[in-house]
Structure 1
Amino acid sequence: MPTIRVQIRAPEIEAKRISEVLERAFEDEGNPVTVYETKADGSEWAAEILLFDMAAEEAADCVRDRVGSDAFAAPVEAEELPEENWVEKSLEGLKPVRAGRFFVHGSHDRDKRPANALAIEVEAALAFGTGHHGTTAGCLMELDRLLDRRSYSRVLDLGTGTGVLGIGIAMKTRRPVIATDIDPIATETAAENSRKNGVGALVTCFTAAGVDDRRFADYGPFDLVVANILAKPLVRMAAPVSRRMRREATLVLSGLRIEDGPRIISAYGMQGFRLVRRRAIEGWLTLVLTRGRIGA
């Protein structure tokens, strides 16, 4: 399956704006989008997206069609990349991340683990979520706070990616966690990472296309659900997810831009949830909502 890199070069402000447009245009597919400096003097930046299973010219046309040909003053360039795990390669060398008591790191940084931290070792992978993204870090910070204040007996990590959130919850609580994803690669990655981090017996991973899967009924109803996905699917799943939860329950939602907050709060407000906390990191938003008499 060919990997096509589509790139738009522009000054910093414009490149960052373009990257946000690309994220929104391809948010349902979850294609990786990055923005970075290309000249040492800061005069040029690049917004970049990876597309798969198409020719370079087709990928460039796809980008133009999604965002509108007049959206960018700069030309759209596309090229086929060699067969490598480019998501993994782009994450190589990332520094460890501290999020509350959690410390997310790669194997090359084991010696940097603080003595009092809950260290989660996760290598870069095709599955989303290594702790370095603002959404994952925000979720970990809120989970660290929540789990200090209340115990939860049935926990669901929905859209688990690399499994970081489910692993963190299991580490901190030593209680079972259900971790699911629509992507079997993510499910396999989460299961393997759970084993490597010593919580394989606590984290149950399975692949499911949606929460209508009967296994959610078997393991639920849940009193804590964490979902680090994207705004559109989170809105679409508000009612079915809420039905899998207890009357008194807590939601931690992320994968959101700041401007997504109102529609998420509204969608889950219709299911009886109210906003109790919000956290913004690098333009990304994490929301904590509760239903019933639960505080946060």
Structure 2
Amino acid sequence: MPTFTALTTLPGKAPAEALGEALESLNPEPTGVGVFEIEDGSGLWEVGAYFTEAPDAAGLALLAAMHGAKDFTVSELPETDWVAHVKRELSPVTAGRFFVYGSHDADKVPADAVPLLIEAAMAFGTGHHGTTQGCLRAIDRLATAGEVPASVADIGCGTAVLAMAAARIWDVTPVAGDIDPVAVEVADANLAANGMAGRVICVEATGFDHPEIAKGAPFDLVLANILKGPLIDLAADTARQLAPGGHAVLSGLLNEQADEVTAAYAAEGLDLVQAEVIGDWTTLTLRKPG
């Protein structure tokens, strides 16, 4: 069955959401619609729709004009064996002592590695993105340096791969929070798949705003692999929630965004320990004096 995509961009969240809603009234109807902010500082939002038959070109042009969007770009996607594609493209990743793999590569886990089983279908944070790799490598460096955190928070946890990594190497039960309830379900499923049920407390939360997270504070280690804007918004809370001498590992940052985030945390008293670049992405490790 063929799949068609129709993509456009326009400035502003409200207009983008309005266009996304309007797309659902097209005939033929889209099988799915997505509205996403483009995290490059441009203020643009991407609106996309998926169709199982060629979409109405005139209808798309009219909607774009009505909502102040660029003309839609329509593409037909080739039929793909996604299982084979995933097995081919998502090869295992080594990040410090950690080995992130899918179940199809279970026979490749090195005997001396810390294994983390993350299936490609399990939302975001498979370990293949430079931001996740950077965070895992930062955790590895802290452990190598002799850090032994007694309390860990993973803010915006996604698959909870970072919280699981911490729980694998330290005697700690991290608390992992995400604003998306689906991500929390995914995190719990990942824990079960790794034989780690109960080793991480997964909660639906915005930032640090949850009783389970409050119970664990102050934290010796805060992990946050999210986006520039939310990271800046969390700077003051992170500084308050960190114990003296505690570390924060932050990512989800394009390289050109790292200085702005570093400055926001420096204003709250946190010192930069290391900034690691992997491709287009930077991971920051910061420390609260004390």
- TM-score between the two structures when normalised by the length of structure 2: 0.75
Tell me if 1:96 matches 2:92.
yes
Aligned twin of 2:197? 200
Q: Check 1:134–1:65 CA distance in 2 against 1; reply closer, same or farther (3 A cut).
A: farther
Aligned twin of 1:222? 219
**1:158-211 CA-partner distances (Å, limit 9, x unpaired):** 111111111111111132111111111111111111122122232111111232
Aligned twin of 1:123? 119
- Count residues in correspondence: 253
Q: Check 1:64–1:215 CA distance in 2 against 1; reply closer, same or farther (3 A cut).
A: farther
**Secondary structure of 1:124's match?**
coil
Question: Does the aligned pair in 2 maintain the 1:6–1:60 contact within 8 Å?
Answer: no
Q: Check 1:61–1:101 CA distance in 2 against 1; reply closer, same or farther (3 A cut).
A: farther
Deviation at 1:281, TM superposition (A): 0.7
Deviation at 1:91, TM superposition (A): 4.7
- Amino acid in the other structure paired with 2:274: R
Question: Does the aligned pair in 1 maintain the 2:150–2:171 contact within 8 Å?
Answer: no
Question: Does the aligned pair in 2 maintain the 1:56–1:79 contact within 8 Å?
Answer: no
Aligned twin of 2:177? 180
**1:130-180 CA-partner distances (Å, limit 9, x unpaired):** 000000011111111102221000101111111111111111113211111
Q: Check 1:166–1:59 CA distance in 2 against 1; reply closer, same or farther (3 A cut).
A: farther
* Aligned-partner Cα distance in 2 for 1:223–1:63: 49
Aligned twin of 1:24? 40
* Aligned-partner Cα distance in 1 for 2:148–2:160: 20
* Aligned-partner Cα distance in 2 for 1:64–1:25: 24
Aligned twin of 2:138? 142
Q: How do 1:46-85 and structure 2 match up within 5 A?
A: 69=70, 76-77=73-74
2:252 to 241, 252, 255: 255
User: Structure 2: 5+ residue runs without aligned partners?
Assistant: 9-36
Question: Does the aligned pair in 1 maintain the 2:153–2:213 contact within 8 Å?
Answer: no
Question: Does the aligned pair in 2 maintain the 1:224–1:249 contact within 8 Å?
Answer: yes
User: Which protein is bigger by CA-based radius of gyration?
Assistant: 2
* Aligned-partner Cα distance in 2 for 1:79–1:211: 43
* Aligned-partner Cα distance in 1 for 2:289–2:194: 34
Aligned twin of 1:44? none
Tell me if 1:114 matches 2:130.
no
Question: Does the aligned pair in 2 maintain the 1:139–1:254 contact within 8 Å?
Answer: yes
Aligned twin of 2:23? none
Question: Does the aligned pair in 1 maintain the 2:239–2:288 contact within 8 Å?
Answer: no
Q: Check 1:223–1:235 CA distance in 2 against 1; reply closer, same or farther (3 A cut).
A: same
**Secondary structure of 1:24's match?**
coil
Q: Check 1:158–1:111 CA distance in 2 against 1; reply closer, same or farther (3 A cut).
A: same
Q: How do 1:4-19 and structure 2 match up within 5 A?
A: 5-6=5-6
Question: Does the aligned pair in 2 maintain the 1:227–1:254 contact within 8 Å?
Answer: yes
Question: Does the aligned pair in 2 maintain the 1:100–1:140 contact within 8 Å?
Answer: yes
Q: Check 1:267–1:60 CA distance in 2 against 1; reply closer, same or farther (3 A cut).
A: farther
**Secondary structure of 1:289's match?**
strand
Question: Does the aligned pair in 1 maintain the 2:271–2:288 contact within 8 Å?
Answer: yes
Aligned twin of 2:156? 159
CA RMSD of aligned residues (A): 3.8
Tell me if 1:244 matches 2:241.
yes
* Aligned-partner Cα distance in 2 for 1:66–1:242: 41
Q: Check 1:114–1:243 CA distance in 2 against 1; reply closer, same or farther (3 A cut).
A: same
Aligned twin of 2:289? 292
Q: How do 1:23-42 and structure 2 match up within 5 A?
A: 23-24=39-40
* Aligned-partner Cα distance in 2 for 1:91–1:193: 18
Tell me if 1:275 matches 2:272.
yes
* Aligned-partner Cα distance in 1 for 2:201–2:86: 26
